[in-house]
């Protein structure tokens, strides 16, 4: 074995602890308990794989005898077990799972370690001699000097070490288990004792411990109230270089002064990564807007996922001007939902480019963005494929009888190609790219679902088959499935429009 492998393996135990055995027996493989039954002299003889004891069934009632594949209690240990007829084939009776088990390093008790262990029981042979097998598959070390994830592979009599730069739990079709109680005991008095890991149990903890071991700022950010920034890092979302992850103090974390940092801490808002980016960029422009006001602006404009849009707009104007203008336009039009002003603004600018309009400050900041957007897209519509729109117009005539309203929601056919394109842009799905031509040619039936109070704002898109009287799919933003209210709309729509049931009877 190579010296590197020996050095790394020195952190790990050489035997299976009693705690791990108990966890596997009582939790991980709890469903792997069987009563193997065979008939001896007219009586049912049972063998329990959990307590490893045999007994004869006490039941004389034929209807209460142990039956194959039913759940029954062992009369010796009272465990709930699956009954198996001993004489039946069991070549595929094999139970297995992965366990992610944490311990303290055998070399340094202040260092947290973990293993991904494959545990298995094979019942294909003599069921009275089945043992639980433990196989170490992946090793993890979370130390201040070394944080790594590695596997060992043997080839030609040599053991090679394969390391990963980051630690994580590999995805698998097989169920994996971890014990919070085990983690609590293992983390205690290690360098990760105060890492705030308890707040991230819904995430990949192997990834979290690797991140927290590498960056002490994880603890600082969480205690400061910026858990969302750590979550962005954990899930691979863009953090826009808002944080100095290697910092060991609050002052070193952000590109902000102490006054701003205190204001974030005392803010009534829950700050997101994108909000930090906005504040930092404003400070870069020497803006003196208060931190709480920045939080208000970010909240009102729905800036949690609009940083990329703002970056595009900043090619033409300062961030301060962009935000001031966006707020003004959002207040002007009640039809805007949070963040939609940026969608329409960029769409408007794209239309200006298509029309070869020379972009100046007047064009970039139109007095009424919604009207300007309507005008430019109207001009583009005039040069669109007239034949396609003509076909869609005929489809609308065919499908208009299916217009329907229920509980504040409207469902109707799409009127033109522009509307379908806008639907795809706003909801960020592929309706225009993949379905518009088929809709125009009568191969599918597309319907817009709108809220009655905002009939021009895309909400959900439905693909129907009116000939077969069925609903193919309903999709919202980023292909989200329908909400309960949309599901109810479609349920009533099908009953009334396809099955000709009266609305009051459906409701």
* HEC assignment per residue over 412-478: EECCCHHHHHHHHHHHCCCHHHHHHHHHHCCCCEEEEEEECCECCCCCEEEEEECCCCEEEEEECHH
- CB-CB contact of 413 with 403 (8 Å): yes
pLDDT of res. 382 = 66
pLDDT of res. 338 = 62
pLDDT of res. 232 = 94
pLDDT of res. 503 = 57
Residues 6 or more apart whose CB falls under 8 angstroms from that of 280 comprise 242, 254, 255, 256
Question: What is the chain's pLDDT, residue by residue, as a tens digit (507 residues)?
Answer: 578 889 999 999 999 999 999 999 999 999 999 999 998 888 899 999 999 999 998 766 677 889 999 999 999 999 999 999 999 999 999 999 999 999 999 999 999 999 999 999 999 999 999 999 999 999 999 999 999 999 998 777 777 899 998 999 999 899 999 999 999 999 999 999 999 999 999 999 999 999 999 998 999 999 999 999 999 999 999 999 999 999 988 888 988 999 999 999 999 999 999 999 999 999 999 999 999 999 999 998 988 888 999 999 999 999 999 999 999 998 887 655 667 899 999 999 999 998 888 889 989 999 999 889 988 887 787 666 777 888 999 999 999 999 999 999 999 999 998 899 899 889 988 888 789 989 999 999 999 999 999 999 999 999 999 999 999 999 999 999 999 999 999 999 999 998 877 655 555
Cα 86 to Cα 90: distance, rounded to the nearest angstrom: 9
pLDDT of res. 346 = 94
pLDDT of res. 182 = 98
pLDDT of res. 205 = 97
DSSP at 238: -
State phi, psi for 17 to the nearest 5 degrees: -70, 160
Terminal CA-CA length for the chain: 72
State phi, psi for 311 to the nearest 5 degrees: -60, -40
- CB-CB contact of 69 with 23 (8 Å): no
Q: pTM for the whole thing?
A: 0.71
CA distance to 297, 313, 327, 362, 422, per residue, from 367 (Å): 20, 17, 13, 8, 22
């Amino acid at each position: 074995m190579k010296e590197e492998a020996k050095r790394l393996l020195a952190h790990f135990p050489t035997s299976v602890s009693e705690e791990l055995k108990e966890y596997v027996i009582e939790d991980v493989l709890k469903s792997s308990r069987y009563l193997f039954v065979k008939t001896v002299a007219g009586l049912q003889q049972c063998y329990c794989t959990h307590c490893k004891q045999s007994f004869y069934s006490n039941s004389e009632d034929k209807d209460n005898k142990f039956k194959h594949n039913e759940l029954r209690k062992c009369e010796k240990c009272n465990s709930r077990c699956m009954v198996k007829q001993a004489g039946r084939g069991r070549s595929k009776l094999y139970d297995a799972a992965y366990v992610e088990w944490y311990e303290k390093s055998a070399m340094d008790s202040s260092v947290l370690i973990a293993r991904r262990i494959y545990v298995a029981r094979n019942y294909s042979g003599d069921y009275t001699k089945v043992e639980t097998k433990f196989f170490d598959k992946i090793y993890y070390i979370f130390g201040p000097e070394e944080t790594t994830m590695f596997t060992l592979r043997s080839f030609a009599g040599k053991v090679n070490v394969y390391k990963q730069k980051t630690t994580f739990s590999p995805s698998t079709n097989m169920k994996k288990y971890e014990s919070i109680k085990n983690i609590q005991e293992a983390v205690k008095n290690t360098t990760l004792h105060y890492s705030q890991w308890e707040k991230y149990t819904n995430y990949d903890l192997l990834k979290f411990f690797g991140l927290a071991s590498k960056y002490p700022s994880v603890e600082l950010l969480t205690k400061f109230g910026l858990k969302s920034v750590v979550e962005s890092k954990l899930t691979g979302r863009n953090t826009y270089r808002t944080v100095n992850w290697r910092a060991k103090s609050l002052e070193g974390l952000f590109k902000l002064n102490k006054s701003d940092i205190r204001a974030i801490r005392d803010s009534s808002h829950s700050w997101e990564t994108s909000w930090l980016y906005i504040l930092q960029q404003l400070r870069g422009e020497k803006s003196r807007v208060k931190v709480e006001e920045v939080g208000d602006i970010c909240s009102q404009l729905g800036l949690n996922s609009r940083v990329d849009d703002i970056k595009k707009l900043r090619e033409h104007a300062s961030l301060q001007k962009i935000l001031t203008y966006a707020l003004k336009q959002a207040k002007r039009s009640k039809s805007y939902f949070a963040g939609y002003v940026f969608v329409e603004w960029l769409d408007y600018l794209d239309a200006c480019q298509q029309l070869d309009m020379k972009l100046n400050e007047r064009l970039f900041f139109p007095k009424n963005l919604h009207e300007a957007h309507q005008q430019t897209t109207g001009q583009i519509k005039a040069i669109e494929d007239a034949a396609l729109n003509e076909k869609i117009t005929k489809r609308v005539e065919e499908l208009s009888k299916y217009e329907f309203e229920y509980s504040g929601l409207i469902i109707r056919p799409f009127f033109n190609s522009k509307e379908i394109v806008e639907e795809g842009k706003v909801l960020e799905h592929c309706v225009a790219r993949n379905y518009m031509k088929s809709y125009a040619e009568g191969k599918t039936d597309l319907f817009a679902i709108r809220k009655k109070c905002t009939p021009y704002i895309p909400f959900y898109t439905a693909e129907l088959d009116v000939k077969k009287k069925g609903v193919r799919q309903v999709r919202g933003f980023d292909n989200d499935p329908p909400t309960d209210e949309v599901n109810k709309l479609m349920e009533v729509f099908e009953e009334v429009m396809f099955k000709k049931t009266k609305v009051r009877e459906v409701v």
